[in-house]
Amino acid sequence: MNSEEEFYDAETGLDSDDSCEVSFKDATVYDGKQTSNGSTLSQNGVWGRRTTLPAPMFSRNNFSVWGFLKKCIGMELSKITMPIVFNEPLSFLQRISEYMEHTYLIHKACTLSDSIERMQFVAAFAVSAVASQWDRTGKPFNPLLGETYELVREDEGFRLISEQVSHHPPISAFYTESLNQDFVFHGSIYPKLKFWGKSVEAEPKGTITLELLKHREAYTWTNPHCCIHNVILGKLWIEQYGTVEIVNHSTGDKCILNFKPCGMFGKELHKVEGHIQDKSKKKRHVIYGKWTECMYAIDPKVYDSSRKAEKKSGSDAKKHKQVSAVSDDSDEMPEVQETVAMIPGSSLLWRIVPRPPHSEQMYNFTSFAMSLNELEPGMETVLAPTDCRHRPDIRAMENGDIGMSLYKNCPDIY
């Protein structure tokens, strides 16, 4: 396989670069607007967003993952044709829009007069933006060149547009603005995927920018690395790790967040710790929590004192309790030790919204994700023909028709 081969969503791919020019105008759309998909029409005539998908996800138990992946060790997966059974029924452009699930954190930051306090909520937003990846082990469909996605959420106060702007390499760009014109949020992402035998690593290259217009501030950061473990055998689980540096280019303030790797004993699983410093590099606040759960802010002195006491009590406990280590050869998910223990004096910045009870049967989607591919009444007449919602392969998978999804992914459709 040479370096020019591309990363497609089915075992049949596009034949050439020219075939990647998108035209969805002739695509058959299965809109799935039946009562079974969870959408409701309220008494005032407003169409309610659906709370479930038209069909539960299919079983991957009969598919040999190793049979496919054994030839991919050490390779960048953006150069490999991927079987469609790895997918979830969303385009990567729709997946990007999940950054905005906790937009209220940006609105909160806009109302604050102190730049350090604003940074707290910007940092919480940066963490919350990756929270939807928890247990999301399905791969989104790759956007075609020129594919777009538009989302307007009046209840959350934003509108978003995203587009696949490059095919070699695959680059997705997005732009979001507040309906109140108090912020804009934009960036471009070039995801690089590699398979390492037991795991798949995703490196989300690209800078993200948040502008708070009232305060004339611009914040930038990059997302942490993501790793999916147990892709061959066992239960799939996700780990986020790496350092995220959020910079306020107007004031010089910084927030440095450490997404901790799992570690030998699993004690650091999902943990995020960091601090906010002003332009003189004085530490002003400590930020801590889990990207799967919640984030807190606290005074640095109080935090340090608490951690010293915790280490002392922990060393005493080790004298009476033997802790079994996870083998170096194991890729099993360690047992989650505990929820986030709030240190007295902490301020809660963000807490994750519980997923719907049927989420596990629906690709582990959040309530926000459930609605992203929905075609509401009248929407087809105003959406661009290149919008993700018109893709028949994604629509077929959402409706539980894997055979049709594979067929609709073949070259003659586009």
DSSP string, 119-180: HHHHHHHHHHTTGGGTT--SEEEPPPTT-EEEEEETTTTEEEEEEEEETTTTEEEEEEEETT
The residue among 412, 408, 387 whose CA lies nearest residue 9 is 408
Output the pLDDT for position 203. Answer: 84
Output the pLDDT for position 193. Answer: 77
Other beta carbons within 10 Å of 215: 18
407 burial via Cβ count (<10 Å: 0-12, 13-18, 19+)? middle
Residue 178, pLDDT above cutoff 80? yes
Output the pLDDT for position 398. Answer: 94
Look at 70-84, 121-135, 253-267, 321-335 and tell me which has the smallest mean pLDDT. Answer: 321-335
Please indicate, yes or no, if residue 84 is contained in any of the structural domains: no
- Phi/psi at 274 (nearest 5 deg)? -175, -170
Output the pLDDT for position 236. Answer: 80
Q: What is the DSSP string of 91-132?
A: EHHHHHGGGGGGTHHHHHHHH-S-HHHHHHHHHHHHHHTTGG
User: What value does the mean pLDDT take over residues 249-261?
Assistant: 97
pLDDT confidence tier of residue 146, bands split at 50, 70 and 90: very high
Please indicate, yes or no, if residue 51 is contained in any of the structural domains: no
Rounded CA-CA distance 222/229 in Å is 22
Output the pLDDT for position 300. Answer: 96
Please indicate, yes or no, if residue 81 is contained in any of the structural domains: no
The residue among 92, 50, 60, 152 whose CA lies nearest residue 366 is 50
Alpha carbon 187 to its chain's center: 14
Please indicate, yes or no, if residue 121 is contained in any of the structural domains: yes
Task: Kindly state the tokens that stand for 351.
Answer: 């807490």
Per-range mean pLDDT, top range of 27-41, 168-182, 394-408: 168-182
Please state, for a pLDDT cut of 90, what percent of the chain lies above it: 55
Other beta carbons within 10 Å of 269: 19
CB 369 within 8 A of CB 132: yes
* Mean pLDDT over each residue of the chain, to the nearest integer: 81
Residue 176, pLDDT above cutoff 50? yes
In CATH, what number is assigned to the domain containing residue 269? 2.40.160.120
pLDDT of 124-136, one tens digit each?
999 999 999 998 9
Please indicate, yes or no, if residue 15 is contained in any of the structural domains: no
Please indicate, yes or no, if residue 265 is contained in any of the structural domains: yes
Choose between 412 and 354: higher pLDDT.
354
Rounded CA-CA distance 399/187 in Å is 31
User: What value does the mean pLDDT take over residues 389-404?
Assistant: 90
Output the pLDDT for position 58. Answer: 81
Helix axes 115-128, 104-111, angle to 10 degrees: 180
The long-range contacts involving 352-355, CB below 8 angstroms and separated by at least 24 positions, are 352/128, 352/131, 352/292, 352/293, 352/294, 353/101
SS3 call for 62: coil
Provide the domain limits for residue 339.
33-43+89-313+332-413
Residue 141, pLDDT above cutoff 70? yes
Buried b (16+ CB within 10 A) or exposed e, 332-356: ebbeeeeebeebeebeebbebeebb
Please indicate, yes or no, if residue 64 is contained in any of the structural domains: no
Per-range mean pLDDT, top range of 17-26, 34-43, 76-85: 76-85
Cα separation of the two ends of the chain: 24
CB 172 within 8 A of CB 143: yes
Q: Give residues with Cβ within 8 angstroms of 24, minimum separation 6.
A: 385, 386, 387, 390, 391, 414
pLDDT confidence tier of residue 174, bands split at 50, 70 and 90: very high
CB 259 within 8 A of CB 360: no
CB 405 within 8 A of CB 91: no
pLDDT confidence tier of residue 62, bands split at 50, 70 and 90: low
DSSP 76: B
Output the pLDDT for position 76. Answer: 60
User: What value does the mean pLDDT take over residues 111-119?
Assistant: 98
363 burial via Cβ count (<10 Å: 0-12, 13-18, 19+)? buried
Choose between 391 and 331: higher pLDDT.
391
SS3 call for 298: strand
How many angstroms separate the most distant Cα atoms in the chain?
Answer: 70
Please indicate, yes or no, if residue 303 is contained in any of the structural domains: yes
Output the pLDDT for position 335. Answer: 58
User: What value does the mean pLDDT take over residues 151-171?
Assistant: 95
Buried b (16+ CB within 10 A) or exposed e, 81-97: bbbbbbbbbbbbbbbbb
pLDDT confidence tier of residue 21, bands split at 50, 70 and 90: very low
The residue among 414, 412, 392, 411 whose CA lies nearest residue 403 is 392
pLDDT of 218-232, one tens digit each?
999 999 998 888 777
Choose between 151 and 30: higher pLDDT.
151
pLDDT of 350-380, one tens digit each?
999 999 999 999 999 999 999 999 998 888 8
Q: Give residues with Cβ within 8 angstroms of 275, minimum separation 6.
A: 255, 256, 283, 284, 285, 286, 287, 300
What is the number of structural domains in the chain?
1
